[in-house]
Amino acid sequence: MSSANFLNSGSRQALALTMGEPAGVGGEVTLKAWMSQNTPAFFVIDDADRLRLLAHKLGLNVPVTEINLPSEALKVFEVALPVLHKPLQNPVVFGKPSLKNAKAVTESIKLAVELVSSGQASAVVTNPIHKETLYDAGFQFPGHTEYLSNLAGMGTTPVMMLASPELKVVPVTIHVSLAKALNSLRQVDIINTARITAKALTKYFSIAKPRLAIAGLNPHAGEGGKMGKEEITDIVPAITKLCKIGIDASGPWAPDTMFHSAARKLYDVAICMYHDQALIPIKTIDFDGAVNTTLGLPFVRTSPDHGTAFNIAGTGVASERSLVAALQMAAKMTKIHNNQ
């Protein structure tokens, strides 16, 4: 039985959790998160029948109750997992995503945003999606971050931050090929990313003057231009401008030496130039506990920092730690966001 006491006082709505890819571990970690004793109240937009079958298969004592309105979730959460029913077209086969279920996945995300935007839910927490399947089904966005930006009616892409107690990282370029990331890296994007990050760290993480470590792009941060010019043409000028507007930005840091334990004590967040430069170190340091949070949206959104894990889906060994951490962070950020 889950405890509904954690972070519920003062909160009038539950968190909205999306189904994610049904053939992955999202359903399993959702069930296990409800069983956790330190999880804030949430409801999941998912197929209630498939969650019941999954709980039975895995031997998890999780009662599943369908709700008609998000407002019912807080009361139901004390005794059962509240599910806003979103039926799937195809039966789930673990590790084998179905194109016919792709629409339910994206509609789950869309509905979560609508419920948060209308005040019926407190924040959006997303389970992992399988991008390739969604692309094949006609999904027009590189990933969650860009889709959420579109749903929120934003003209710019928000910032993706991965956070754990040991490290926070933000990539400037996100879901694009490495070749495109290298060609599209611009000084203005580094500055905008850093500004949004610094503001969020102060607002949500109580860091009065965040220290931003700006990573270089090339080996050894370019070695004075001998191993690449991007540090000279874009990164150093961006750092200079950030410092002029009062942001504590340093660098460019050599990417191969900035993530060891001693170096991490010298900054609050690493601003990285591309996706894997940011995600490889944090997933190495804290794969099960790190949280993906989107900064710059008009609502709070978090997500576990792992993928669909098709190789272990349906086996019962998936860890819920990252999802629990994502739910906890969403609840904490929402209170601040709403000035509670």
Residue ranges of domains in the chain: 1-156+307-334, 166-285
pLDDT in tens, 193-225: 999 999 999 999 999 999 999 999 998 887 888
**Nearest-angstrom CA–CA distance, 85 and 70:** 11
The helix (run of H) or strand (run of E) holding residue 135 is helix 131-136
pLDDT > 90 fraction of the chain, expressed in percent and rounded: 78
**Nearest-angstrom CA–CA distance, 280 and 63:** 37
The helix (run of H) or strand (run of E) holding residue 189 is helix 187-205
Q: Is the peptide bond before 252 cis (omega within 30 degrees of 0)?
A: yes
| Residue corresponding to tokens 């599209």 | 184
Would you say residue 7 has pLDDT above 70? no
pLDDT of residue 3: 39
Q: Provide the strand spans (E) within the chain.
A: 15-18, 42-46, 64-67, 81-85, 124-125, 159-163, 168-171, 211-215, 248-253, 269-272, 291-295, 301-304
Options 3.40.718.10, 3.40.50.720, 3.40.190.290, 3.40.50.620; CATH of 166-285: 3.40.718.10
Residue 45, SS3 per DSSP: strand
Give the residue among 338, 317, 310, 327 at the shortest CA–CA distance from 126.
Answer: 327
59-62 CB contacts, 8 Å cutoff, 24+ apart: 59/316, 60/31, 60/32, 60/35, 61/35, 62/31, 62/34, 62/35
Mean local confidence (pLDDT), 272-276:
95
pLDDT of residue 106: 95
Mean local confidence (pLDDT), 8-34:
88
User: What letter would DSSP give residue 270?
Assistant: E
pLDDT of residue 5: 34
If one compares 4 and 103, the residue with the highest pLDDT of the two is: 103
Residue 225, SS3 per DSSP: coil
Could you tell me the pLDDT band of residue 260, with boundaries at 50, 70 and 90?
Answer: very high
End-to-end Cα, the chain, rounded Å: 28
Is 166-285 the same fold as 1-156+307-334? yes
Q: List beta partners, residue 215.
A: 253
pLDDT of residue 11: 55
CATH number of the domain located at residue range(s) 1-156+307-334 in this protein = 3.40.718.10
**Do the Cβ atoms of 112 and 18 come closer than 8 Å?**
yes
pLDDT in tens, 10-21: 457 999 999 999
Q: Which of 13-17, 99-103, 157-161, 321-325 has the lowest mean pLDDT?
A: 157-161
pTM of the model: 0.88
**Nearest-angstrom CA–CA distance, 230 and 180:** 14
pLDDT of residue 6: 34
Would you say residue 339 has pLDDT above 80? no
Q: List beta partners, residue 292.
A: 162, 303
